[in-house]
């Protein structure tokens, strides 16, 4: 447990290995959302203090407690899909749970129409995304940008809690709305459940053999893929708690009705196997606390290491155009009202140089597209060609129009050269290059790219995205005109 002690109104974080004697939790039960949608749910409020075995109370670092939320949500997902008693009661009412989505199959078609609050959040998100793209033409929001947009979408124009609500009138309104959406909803046969009925149903549904024969390695891979996907905004770093949450969700995906303790034991085994075989630790010394993002998927760590080696191999210095040359070209291709500062001029010269690897970074509005126009003109004067690759087709179109150069999305470029992304059983995408003459998965188109020229290697989709997101909006790719498919990513 991570604890804190108050000292002069400042919180000092302490680490206590000894479990607390008491933790206070307040449960709030709600029947609806703030938008009056039927949404039966519970809130569990964890007190910011815990009582130690010595009887004293100490403050919890709430930031750490929030990071445990991923595990709590995963446990809820597990219960909703696999708890035998819950599934038995549903079955008695004529309902089943979809093992893939966790939704009640017979009611799934009613969820969206009765989710006004969700629709409001989606509409807010769409507005904010449109505003972001208008402000950053040709760019796509990063994971951090998307997280900020989601927070805004949730909080903007959030309805107040309803007051003086007539419960009977509200319930009647909901029943009427449900009947209008599905007039046959009340015709589903149901029967009363005695304890004996539930016990018999539990025995019939419990599948202990499926738990005992589960493929632990495959579930561990699914767990790590889940943790890796959620770690996109943290450079691929995740915590032991994230691995545990991924393991719980992987077990839940089996859709097996079984005792909670049995499934928890399987989740423990999956998490342990994942940590031993599919996760790389990033810190030396003692095992970090569960909330510390000190781990990375072994595949991701390997790809990052390979990328570093490839980039180091490319980092050979070449010849750069002089500042005078860049200034003359800029005067020729830019409007009279547009000027370049020294940093932009140096960046344009670097791109137009014979260096094999160049990185230019800068936030929106710092003139990256402007300097690309100058670099493209300089390369053309050298009888060399600039090809721009962007994360999306829209971004590529904007970059190509602004610089008057060839542009495309990174995925279309890789597809042109025979690269396809295939999703494995663990949910992770991996890139594979088709041989010349090999059919694409659609069974109609043939890869015509000569294999001797298709030597760009990107093992996974997430790896490609991490490379693209690290570069300017136009994703500069300098392509040698005589070897048009030998790529060097800047």
Q: Is residue 41 a part of any domain in this protein?
A: yes
Torsions phi, psi for 45 (to 5 deg): -100, 115
Calculate the alpha carbon distances from 78 to 73, 186, 299 in Å: 9, 28, 27
Query: Is 246:427 a contact under the CB 8 Å cutoff?
Result: no
Query: Is 320:309 a contact under the CB 8 Å cutoff?
Result: no
Query: Is 47:23 a contact under the CB 8 Å cutoff?
Result: yes
Share of the chain above pLDDT 70, in %: 82
- pLDDT for position 273: 95
pTM for the model stands at 0.69
- Is the per-residue pLDDT at 206 higher than 80? no
- Is the per-residue pLDDT at 164 higher than 50? yes
466 shares a domain with 368: yes
Q: Tell me which of 167-176, 318-327, 366-375, 464-473 is least confident.
A: 464-473
Residue 400 — very low, low, confident or very high, per pLDDT cuts 50/70/90? confident
- pLDDT for position 194: 67
Instruction: Count the domains in the chain.
Output: 3
Q: Is residue 322 a part of any domain in this protein?
A: yes
- Give the mean pLDDT of 153-157: 90
- Is the per-residue pLDDT at 337 higher than 50? yes
Q: Is residue 37 a part of any domain in this protein?
A: yes
- pLDDT for position 472: 32
Residue 486 — very low, low, confident or very high, per pLDDT cuts 50/70/90? very low
- Is the per-residue pLDDT at 14 higher than 70? no
Any idea what the CATH number is for the domain that residue 430 is in?
Answer: 3.40.50
Q: Tell me which of 171-185, 451-465, 466-480 is least confident.
A: 466-480
- pLDDT for position 195: 65
377 shares a domain with 436: yes
Query: Is 366:393 a contact under the CB 8 Å cutoff?
Result: no
Q: Is residue 296 a part of any domain in this protein?
A: no
Q: Which of 29-43, 53-67, 267-281, 314-328 has the highest mean pLDDT?
A: 267-281
Q: What is the Cα–Cα distance from 278 to 430, expressed in whole angstroms?
A: 16
Query: Is 376:386 a contact under the CB 8 Å cutoff?
Result: yes
183 shares a domain with 50: no
Calculate the alpha carbon distances from 292 to 18, 68, 239, 249 in Å: 18, 11, 5, 20
Residue 123's domain spans which residues? 110-160+172-187
* Complete DSSP assignment for 65-79: HHHTHHHHHHHHHHH
- pLDDT for position 466: 29
Mean pLDDT of the chain: 77
* Cα dihedral: 176, 178, 183, 188 (round 10): -120
Which two structure tokens, joined as six digits, stand for 187? 């015709």
Q: What is the Cα–Cα distance from 459 to 422, expressed in whole angstroms?
A: 10
37 shares a domain with 114: no
Q: What is the Cα–Cα distance from 11 to 3, expressed in whole angstroms?
A: 10
Model pLDDT for residues 76-129, shown as the tens digit of each residue: 888 888 888 888 888 877 888 887 778 888 888 888 888 888 889 999 999 999
* Complete DSSP assignment for 316-342: -------HHHHHHHHHHHS-TT----H
């Amino acid at each position: 447990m991570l604890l804190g002690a108050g000292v002069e109104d400042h919180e000092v974080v302490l680490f206590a290995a000894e479990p607390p004697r008491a933790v206070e939790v307040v449960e709030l039960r709600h029947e609806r959302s703030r938008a009056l949608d039927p949404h039966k749910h519970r809130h569990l409020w964890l007190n910011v203090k815990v009582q130690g075995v010595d009887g004293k109370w100490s403050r919890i670092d709430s930031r750490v407690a929030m990071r445990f939320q991923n595990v709590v949500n995963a446990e809820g997902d597990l219960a909703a899909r696999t708890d035998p008693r819950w599934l038995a009661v549903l079955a008695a009412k004529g309902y089943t749970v979809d093992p893939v989505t966790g939704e009640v199959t017979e009611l799934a078609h009613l969820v969206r129409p009765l989710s006004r609050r969700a629709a409001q959040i989606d509409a807010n998100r769409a507005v904010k995304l449109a505003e972001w793209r208008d402000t950053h033409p040709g760019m796509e929001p990063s994971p951090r940008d998307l997280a900020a947009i989601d927070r805004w979408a949730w909080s903007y124009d959030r309805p107040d809690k309803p007051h003086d609500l007539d419960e009977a009138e509200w319930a009647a309104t909901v029943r009427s709305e449900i009947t209008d959406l599905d007039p046959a909803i009340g015709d589903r046969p149901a029967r009363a459940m005695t304890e004996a009925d539930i016990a018999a149903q539990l025995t019939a549904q419990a599948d202990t053999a499926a738990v005992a024969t589960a493929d632990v390695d495959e579930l561990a891979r699914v767990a790590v893929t889940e943790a890796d996907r959620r770690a996109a905004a943290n450079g691929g770093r995740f915590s032991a708690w994230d691995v545990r949450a991924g393991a719980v969700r992987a077990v839940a995906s089996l859709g097996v009705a079984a005792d909670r303790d049995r499934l928890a034991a399987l989740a423990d085994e999956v998490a342990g196997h994942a940590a031993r075989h599919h996760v790389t630790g990033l810190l030396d010394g003692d095992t970090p606390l569960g909330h510390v993002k000190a781990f990375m998927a072994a595949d991701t760590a390997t790809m990052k290491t390979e990328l570093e080696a490839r980039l180091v191999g490319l980092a050979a210095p070449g010849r750069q155009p002089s500042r005078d040359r860049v200034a003359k070209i800029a005067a020729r291709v830019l409007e009279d009202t547009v000027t370049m500062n020294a940093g932009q001029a140096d960046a344009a010269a670097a791109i137009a140089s014979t260096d094999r690897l160049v990185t230019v970074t800068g936030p929106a509005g710092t003139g990256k597209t402007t300097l690309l126009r100058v670099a493209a003109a300089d390369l053309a004067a050298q009888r060399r060609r600039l090809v721009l690759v962007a994360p999306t087709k829209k971004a590529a179109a904007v970059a190509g129009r602004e610089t008057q150069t060839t542009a495309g999305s990174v995925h279309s470029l890789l597809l042109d050269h025979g690269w396809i992304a295939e999703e494995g059983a663990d949910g992770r995408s991996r890139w594979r290059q088709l041989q010349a003459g090999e059919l694409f998965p659609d069974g109609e188109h043939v890869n015509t790219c000569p294999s001797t020229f298709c030597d760009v290697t990107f093992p996974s989709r997430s790896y490609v995205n991490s490379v693209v997101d690290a570069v300017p909006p136009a994703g500069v790719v300098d392509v040698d005109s005589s070897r048009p498919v030998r790529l060097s990513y800047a």
